[in-house]
Structure formats: structure tokens, C-alpha cells
Amino acid sequence: MFEKVLIANRGEVALRIHRACREMGIKTVAVHSEADANAMHVRLADEAVCIGPARSSDSYLNKSAIISAATITGVDAIHPGYGFLSEDADFAEMVEEHGIAFIGPKPEQIRMMGDKLKAREFAIQCGLPIVPGSEALEDVEAAKKWALQIGYPVIIKAKAGGGGKGMKIAHNEQEIETAYMMARAEAKASFSSDEVYMEKYLQHPRHIEVQVLADSYGNVVHLGERDCSIQRQNQKVIEETPSPALNQKQRQEIGEIARKAVKQIGYVSAGTLEFLFEDGEFYFLEMNTRLQVEHPITEAVSGVDIVREQLRIADGAKLGYTQDDIVFQGCAIECRINAEDPETFVPNAGKITEWHAPGGLGVRVDSEIYSGYRIPPFYDSMIAKLIVHGRTRNGVLMRLHRALEEFVIDGVKTTIPLHQKIIAQPEYIDGLYDIHWLEDTIRNLK
């Protein structure tokens, strides 16, 4: 097993990776910006290297600085976490060229799935159901022609996109030009590429994703599905597993479809296939070739430590179990806690004056926040994840109510009040929501 791993990330995911490494007897190296010198993962790591100023482009996205830190500290591998460089194929290649293991899939697999049109081709080759869509759109006229062929409403997406960026909806021909230009501009700003394509816009879908693990020997398992339909501006807010929208037959069907597709392309590492689900039908959306923010709820119901498995697979180990060995138990829900005004959603960085995380049976908090810590204003506003697990969904909801009431974060505003309102809504309690539900009802939450 690896002796030393560099964690090329920050925040709660960096701490999550550190913990997995330490439980496996692996030493860790934390890289950090000047703004994160007092971060918990930096304080706990065996070694720490400052790689630049606060701006991400000068630190966490600085590939040369990270490779230099890895070389100087003599690490065996680099774990990219999620976000930042986790799906950067060029970075993965750089890591391997320096004789260091990249804890993730091969660069060519990252590159293929990072190109949304190539990912659609992969889906077609593997027999995955896909949303009707276009090839790359060269200009507005091409967009208009494809929209007529596909049928309104349509959504224009960044070819190199992700995270809800570079996506614009057009309900008719009058909106298509504006949507096309805005999607291209946002794509260029977010991904340095203004290439876009078009898909049919589904009206009331659920967002269902399937977690997979695959080793270098052709062994592949899925760890069930997650329902990530509670979203705001295409950003996930609450996730749960299993999905209340699926029956057992549909659950087994989509899990096996995902497992076979991943096996067909020879994928290695952890990955997630995302689907839209509407009127009993699944439509492939994309594949994320990295650890997901919401992985803890899958760990809760499957009993599999996904980060540990990433490390083992990258070191050449076999999974050591088959699909039949995976037994799902109960239900789990995750709330993403952001340092934001719960009504305006304006980020609210600042000093934490009091911190008390909830506990008890079936309650997990992933965060590196502590009393006295100052949240820097330069990064994503998510500061904690509350994960609750139990035997039944109703039991989990009761436990989640209690855990949110017990959660104390003073000094900054957080989205805890928003979560309390969401899980009290009859539609959420009954599992009757889609990806538009939160934005449609957010102003009326009581």
C-alpha cells in the first residue's frame, strides 16, 4: 500500500481523505493556499506545503506547484478529491509522467467523460438511454435547426461543462438566440471553451445517479442509486438513498445498466453515472470520474468506504467482493450546509464563534470547521455535510429534524434554516419532488 499520499484539495473533502489514509496507515501531505494555513486538514496532516496565494488559480489549480510539492515530499500518490483538478486529464497525465500514482481513472477516461458529446457517444455504444440531442452547435442558425428537430423546450449545454454551469433553456424560437449566446459566454468563462450542444429539456425529471467501483482486473460493482433532485440553480442541496421515486425493479435495472456500461469501457476507480428519470424512463446525463460530494450516504447504506476503495484500486488491489456481496441497509439523507444567507443565498464568510456538531446513532458530520476558525471568502461556500442514516425513511427524517435542531454554527449565517424548512414540506416528506421543485417553492417555504 502507498506510504505517503498528497491531498490536492481543501475543506471537508481534504479532511475526509486524510482520515481514510490514516486509518490505512498512510502518511499524508496537505497542500494549501495562504488563506488555508489554519485549516484542520493542514493541522492534522503529517506534512504541509503552501502552494500559493488565496486565489484558486494561483494555488489549488496551480498544477506545477502541486507537482513540485509532491516531488519535494516524496509521495507515492496524489488524491485530487472533487472539484479543482479532480477531472483534469492533463493534470492526471502530469502526475503519472512524474512517476506518481493518480488516485482516480486513467487520463483518457477522464478526457472522454469530460467531453459531454463523447460521453453521449459512449452512452449510445453501451446501450444507455439518452435524452434526444444535437452535435456541437456551430452558430445560432444551427441551434435553431436542431431545436425544431428536437422540439421545444430545449437546453443548451457546455460541451466541457459540469456543475450546472453553461446551461441555458429556450422555450421557443424567440429565446434560442439569447440562450445560445449566454451558454457560450458562460462556458467560455467557466471551462475555457465556448463549444455547446443541445438536448431536449425534460419538464419534471428526477436526478438519479449510480455509484460504481471498478478495479484493474475487470471487477465492477454498483453501490446503489442516489436521488439528487433537491437542487437550486442546478446545484444539489439535499441528496438521499434509496430514491423514493424508484421501485425495486427500476432500482436493480438502472444499477445493472450502469455496472455493465462501466465494465464495457474498462473503467477503473470510483465513478458516478448520472441520469434523468421521468415517466418511468431513465436518460443518461453524464459520468463523473471522481469522488462525489454526496458519497457518504452511499457509504452509510452499503457499508463500503469509497475513499478507502479508491486508494486500494489505485494501488493495484482487487475489489475482493462481487455485486452479490453488497447488501443495502436502510436509508440515508445528506444536507449540504453552506455559509450563506438562507434567504438571499449571498455567501457569508467570517469567523466561527461557536460550533457544535450534532451526534448520536446514525448521525455523521463531514466538516473541518471548528470554533475560532475563519472561513475564507475565496472558495465554495459549503462548510459542512450532515449525513443521517436509519432503517426507514420516516425514521431518518425524524432523526434529521433532531440533528438540524442540535447543529449550532454561530458567527456566520448558514443554510440550516433552509434545510429545516425543506424537510418539513409535505411534498418532501412524501418524496414527491423533482429537480425544479425547490426553486418553484422556495419563496413559499414556511
Residue 111 within any structural domain of the chain: no
- The one-letter amino acid code at 313 reads I
Residue 122 within any structural domain of the chain: no
Residue 175's H or E segment, with its range, is: helix 173-191
Predicted pLDDT at 370: 97
Q: How far apart are CA 238 and CA 241, in angstroms?
A: 11
Predicted pLDDT at 31: 98
Query: Same structural domain for residues 312 and 428?
Result: yes
Residue 123 within any structural domain of the chain: no
Q: Among 346, 342, 388, 339, which residue's Cα sits nearest to residue 366? A: 388
242 cis-preceded (ω within 30 degrees of 0): yes
Q: Which of 10, 251, 259, 290 is catalytic?
A: 290
Structural domains of the chain, count: 3
32: CATH: 3.40.50.20
Query: Same structural domain for residues 79 and 145?
Result: no
Residue 163 within any structural domain of the chain: yes
Query: Same structural domain for residues 325 and 413?
Result: yes
Query: Same structural domain for residues 42 and 66?
Result: yes
Predicted pLDDT at 163: 65
Query: Same structural domain for residues 432 and 377?
Result: yes
Range of the structural domain that residue 174 is part of: 132-200
Residue 254 within any structural domain of the chain: yes
Query: Same structural domain for residues 196 and 229?
Result: no
- Alpha-carbon distance values, 215 to 102, 135, 347, 399 (Å): 14, 32, 40, 36
Query: Same structural domain for residues 358 and 406?
Result: yes
197: left (phi over 0), alpha (psi -120 to 50) or beta: beta
153 cis-preceded (ω within 30 degrees of 0): yes
Query: Same structural domain for residues 272 and 396?
Result: yes
Q: Which residue's entry shows cell 490505512?
A: 24
Q: How far apart are CA 416 and CA 383, in angstroms?
A: 11
DSSP letters spanning 246-307:
--HHHHHHHHHHHHHHHHHTT--EEEEEEEEEETTEEEEEEEE-S--TTHHHHHHHH---HH
Predicted pLDDT at 275: 96
Query: Same structural domain for residues 182 and 225?
Result: no
CB 328 within 8 A of CB 303: no
399 is catalytic: no
- Alpha-carbon distance values, 345 to 11, 47, 64, 269, 367 (Å): 20, 36, 34, 35, 20
Q: Which residues of 175-197 are buried (b: 16+ CB within 10 A; e: fewer)?
A: bbeebbbebbebbbebbeebbbb
Predicted pLDDT at 312: 98
Residue 118 within any structural domain of the chain: no
Cell numbers placing 436 = 425544479
Query: Same structural domain for residues 312 and 177?
Result: no
Query: Same structural domain for residues 216 and 343?
Result: yes
Give the pTM: 0.91
Query: Same structural domain for residues 247 and 364?
Result: yes
Q: How far apart are CA 229 and CA 275, in angstroms?
A: 11
Residue 49 within any structural domain of the chain: yes
Residue 335 within any structural domain of the chain: yes
158: CATH: 3.30.1490.20
- Over the chain (446 residues), the average pLDDT of each successive run of 10 is 97 98 98 97 98 97 98 98 96 98 97 88 89 91 95 92 82 94 92 92 95 98 98 95 98 96 96 95 94 98 98 97 97 98 94 98 97 96 98 98 98 97 97 96 83
